[in-house]
Amino acid sequence: MTRRSTLGARNRGIPEATVARLPVYLRALHTLAERGVVTVSSEELAAAAGVNSAKLRKDLSHLGSYGTRGVGYEVQYLVYQISRELGLTQDWSVAIVGLGNLGRALAGYGGFASRGFRMSALLDADPAIVGDRINGLTVEHIDKLEQVITDCGISIAVLAVPASAAQAVCDRVVASGVTSILNFAPVVLTVPDGVDVRKVDLSIELQILAFHEQRKAGGPGGVEQEYLEAVDGS
Amino acid sequence: MTRRSTLGARNRGIPEATVARLPVYLRALHTLAERGVVTVSSEELAAAAGVNSAKLRKDLSHLGSYGTRGVGYEVQYLVYQISRELGLTQDWSVAIVGLGNLGRALAGYGGFASRGFRMSALLDADPAIVGDRINGLTVEHIDKLEQVITDCGISIAVLAVPASAAQAVCDRVVASGVTSILNFAPVVLTVPDGVDVRKVDLSIELQILAFHEQRKAGGPGGVEQEYLEAVDGS
DNA sequence: AAGCCTTTGTGAACGCACGCACAAAGTCGG
DNA sequence: CCGACTTTGTGCGTGCGTTCACAAAGGCTT
Ligand SMILES: NC(=O)c1ccc[n+]([C@@H]2O[C@H](COP(=O)([O-])OP(=O)(O)OC[C@H]3O[C@@H](n4cnc5c(N)ncnc54)[C@H](O)[C@@H]3O)[C@@H](O)[C@H]2O)c1
Ligand SMILES: NC(=O)c1ccc[n+]([C@@H]2O[C@H](COP(=O)([O-])OP(=O)(O)OC[C@H]3O[C@@H](n4cnc5c(N)ncnc54)[C@H](O)[C@@H]3O)[C@@H](O)[C@H]2O)c1
């Protein structure tokens, strides 16, 4: 059978690397759309997204054949297809746990709502923080976690609590039915199968930059006998 | 000569994937050290870091042979070796540009200093913000950018400015001598060769989670004829 | 209607990364 | 001093991701 069946190019099983780039393409497309651009070639879009054009085309080919040869891709249509693939045609309710420095910044950020992510619940353990209103939402006490998550139909949680509390909070949100977690605490979270965790660790990012920075400056080599000096104070 | 030469296992050219994991190992090692652990096996450390033990050993082998067969790795010694490889035996001066919601959270965070990153300069364009004291530092006007970066010997900059200003600010910090950038603005930055950019995009992280979340719920397939409905209001 | 020009979609080659599995190396008890 | 046991360091097979390069496809002009 030469004919392509129902799931032809639309093979369930989009490479993870591709999934991670789709939001970048989407952002570039939104910018183009605002500028009134109707059609875009893979070359132009790739440049806007900061990737190789072959890679872009292969990525898009995983969703289907949505381009027109000799012309390019229709911006609006592609926005819709990528959005659909990413699950952005529906709204997602998100809970933020931990409304300290970072949690507040996240709760007050407008860039999420525009992508279909609604911050539906803010939770904290500190009585001094519970009751605060942030961006139109009231901070609830962590004791209401299970109730709030169930009531709001929340499946995504953002953890902005101290590292020492992260695993415990994680366990609770998972027990309440959350299956996707964005973790800011510098710890490795353990979760059951079927639960996705993504971590954002700013300290790690800086350390990676420092590594390359050091390379540019000449590298660590040269001095070999420094350990004893560094450890032994004498 | 059987003795390992200056560059033996210490091959210049550590895989990028390894570099990204070294900070995770380092964090796990610090935790173990605090707990008084002297020696750790690859199996234990791998578990603490959430990776495969073979991967851990291969990663560490890129720095040299710092383990003892039959015993494991000495925690303190390994901390030192990884720190040195990452360039954390020296302090790094970092500038934060944009002291809005996010910039403030970053400036107030204590977790950076403990890794050798000193926030040396805070810069913003808003006169209402310039002069504020955050965590013992005064916010300077962006006009002093070049001067401050030069004076403090800053080579790493964190950008927490609006997307619309990011590229312009980026160009300025690069022109001032910064060669490593951590970017929070949702834009693709263009920089000259030799400058490293790492991006942190929380919106993208949520979108990736949404993609997998949708999969768990049954996937987008099924309904094929939705585009016209979605675009055309009628 | 035909041919030219542009751009897509993908086959194929390559390189990196992961993880298994094991020999070599070292420890520790007797 | 020796033998059993533990754990490292790595060779190797496998799979994923990237990139090149080009045939096929469609539009546009004449
Ligand atoms: N602020 C930053 O820039 C930054 C940078 C990198 C990483 N982080 C990490 O992000 C996390 C939050 O950072 P932060 O600066 O906002 O810390 P923070 O101390 O300001 O805020 C933590 C909040 O969590 C709350 N909390 C503590 N235990 C809780 C529990 N069991 N249940 C619910 N809430 C609880 C606290 O009341 C507090 O409001 C930390 O893990 C930190 O390491 C922060
Ligand atoms: N707050 C969040 O949780 C969050 C989440 C994801 C992404 N981001 C991104 O991080 C960036 C900062 O977010 P935010 O919420 O802190 O925004 P914000 O508007 O609160 O702060 C931006 C700051 O940058 C300053 N600024 C503007 N133009 C400047 C210039 N040319 N030079 C120097 N300073 C300038 C402003 O005065 C302001 O203080 C944005 O690009 C945003 O999209 C923020």
Task: Answer whether A221 sits within 8 Å of B112, measured CB to CB.
Answer: no
Q: What is the CATH number of the domain that holds B41?
A: 1.10.10.10
Same domain for B168 and B140: yes
Same domain for B129 and B44: no
Q: What is the CATH number of the domain that holds A182?
A: 3.40.50.720
Digit-coded pLDDT (tens) for B70-112: 999 999 999 999 999 999 999 999 999 999 999 999 999 989 9
Question: What's the confidence (pLDDT) of residue A64?
Answer: 94
**Amino acid at residue number A52:** N
Question: What's the confidence (pLDDT) of residue B227?
Answer: 55
Same domain for A192 and A101: yes
A1: in domain: no
**Amino acid at residue number B167:** Q
**Beta-carbon contacts of residue A62 (< 8 Å; ≥ 6 apart):** A9, A11, A14, A15, A18
> Which of A80, A101, A196 is opposite residue B105, by nearest beta carbon?
A101
Compute CA distances A156 → A27, A100, A121, B73, whole Å.
21, 19, 11, 38
Q: Which residue, of B59, B86, B113, is where some domain finishes?
A: B86
Same domain for A39 and A117: no
Instruction: Give the mean pLDDT of A199-205.
Output: 97
- The protein residue with its alpha carbon nearest to ligand 2, atom 25, reads B98
Nearest C-alpha in B relative to A178: B213
> Which of B181, B188, B208 is opposite residue A19, by nearest beta carbon?
B208
Chain-centre distance of CA A230, in angstroms? Answer: 39
Taking a C-beta distance cutoff of 8 angstroms, is the pair B178, B157 a contact?
yes
A4 touches strand C (CB under 7 A): no
Read off the DSSP letter of residue B113. Answer: G
pLDDT(A19) > 70: yes
- Which residue of B44, B207, B231 is the best one to mutate when testing the A interface, meaning the one whose CB has the most A CBs within 10 A? B207
Question: What's the confidence (pLDDT) of residue A226?
Answer: 55
Same domain for B120 and B51: no
Task: Answer whether B211 sits within 8 Å of A84, measured CB to CB.
Answer: no
Digit-coded pLDDT (tens) for A32-43: 999 999 999 999
Phi, psi dihedrals of residue A2, rounded to the nearest 5°? -85, -25
B14 touches strand C (CB under 7 A): no
Cα–Cα distance, B197 to A17 (Å, whole number): 19
Same domain for A102 and A179: yes
Per this entry, what is the length of chain A? 234
Phi-psi label, residue B133: left if phi above 0, alpha if psi -120 to 50, beta otherwise: beta
Same domain for B119 and B47: no
Residue B124 CA: which ligand is closest? 2
Cα–Cα distance, A36 to A67 (Å, whole number): 18
Cα–Cα distance, A141 to A156 (Å, whole number): 18
Taking a C-beta distance cutoff of 8 angstroms, is the pair A140, A133 a contact?
no
* CA end-to-end distance (rounded Å), chain A: 78
A2: in domain: no
Question: What's the confidence (pLDDT) of residue B219?
Answer: 61
Digit-coded pLDDT (tens) for A214-234: 999 876 554 444 555 555 443
Report the candidate in A107, A126, A183, A180 with the shortest Cα–Cα distance to residue A149: A180
Question: What's the confidence (pLDDT) of residue A5?
Answer: 33
Digit-coded pLDDT (tens) for A126-157: 999 999 999 999 999 999 999 999 999 999 99
Question: What's the confidence (pLDDT) of residue A1?
Answer: 31
Digit-coded pLDDT (tens) for A69-127: 999 999 999 999 999 999 999 999 999 999 999 999 999 998 998 889 999 999 999 99
Cα–Cα distance, B180 to B158 (Å, whole number): 9
Number of domains in chain A: 3
Q: Which residue, of A33, A66, A86, is where some domain finishes?
A: A86
Instruction: Give the mean pLDDT of A49-74.
Output: 97
Task: Answer whether B186 sits within 8 Å of A94, measured CB to CB.
Answer: no
Query: Could you give the 3-state DSSP secondary structure of residue B88?
Result: coil
Digit-coded pLDDT (tens) for B49-75: 999 999 999 999 999 999 999 999 999
